[in-house]
Amino acid sequence: MEFMGIGFALLGAALAVFLSGFGSAIGLAAAAKAATGVLSEKPERYGTLMLLVVLPSTQGIYGFVVGLFVMIKLNMFAGAPIAITWYQGLQILAACLPIAFAGWISGIQQGRTGAAGILMSAKRPEMAFKAGVVYAAMIELYAILGFLVSLLILLMGIPLQAPGVAA
C-alpha cells in the first residue's frame, strides 16, 4: 500500500506540471503566431506585443512550482522519500488538480485572448495595453487562484509525519 501513496502523489505532481504546461504551450503558440503575423508587417511593435505573448507562460510556471513543492514535501531531494499512505497520496493528488486544470484551460484561453488583443492592436495600437493586456490578465487571476489553492492545500492541509518515522 505504501508504494501506491507515492504513486498517487507523483501522479499529482506530473498532472500539475504537464497539464498547465500544455495549456501554456498552446496559449503561447497562439499568441506568438499572432504576434509574428503583426510583426511581419510592423516590426516596431515588438515591445508592446512582448507582454501579451508572455502572459500565458505563467501557468506552466505555477504548475512547475506546485510539482516542485510536492517533491519537496515528499522529501525526494533528500534521497529517501517519506513513506505515505495511499490516502495521503490521494490528498496530494487532489491538491495538485486545481492548478492542473485551471492552468490548462486558462493557459489556452489566455493565449487566445492575448492573440485577439494582438490582432486588435494591429489596428489600434493605443488599445494594446488597455484592452489586450488587461483582458488577458483577468484570465490570469483564475490561474493564480488555482495555484494558491493547490499550494495552500499542499503546505497546510496535508500533515505528513517527519522523515524517518515509519507511518
Q: Which is nearer to other proteins, 83 or 116 (CB)?
A: 116
Torsion of CA 112, 118, 122, 123, to 10 degrees: 70
- Of these, 70, 122, 151, 153, which contacts other proteins (CB under 8 A)? 122
Q: Could you give the 3-state DSSP secondary structure of residue 139?
A: helix
Residues 167, 161 contacting (CB under 8 angstroms): yes
Q: How far is the CB of 75 from other proteins (least distance, A)?
A: 42
Residues 99, 65 contacting (CB under 8 angstroms): no
Q: How far is the CB of 58 from other proteins (least distance, A)?
A: 20
Interaction between residue 70 and other proteins (CB under 8 A): no
Q: Could you give the 3-state DSSP secondary structure of residue 165?
A: coil
Interaction between residue 52 and other proteins (CB under 8 A): no
Which residues lie near other proteins (CB under 8 A)? 29-31, 33-38, 40-42, 112, 115-116, 118-119, 122-123
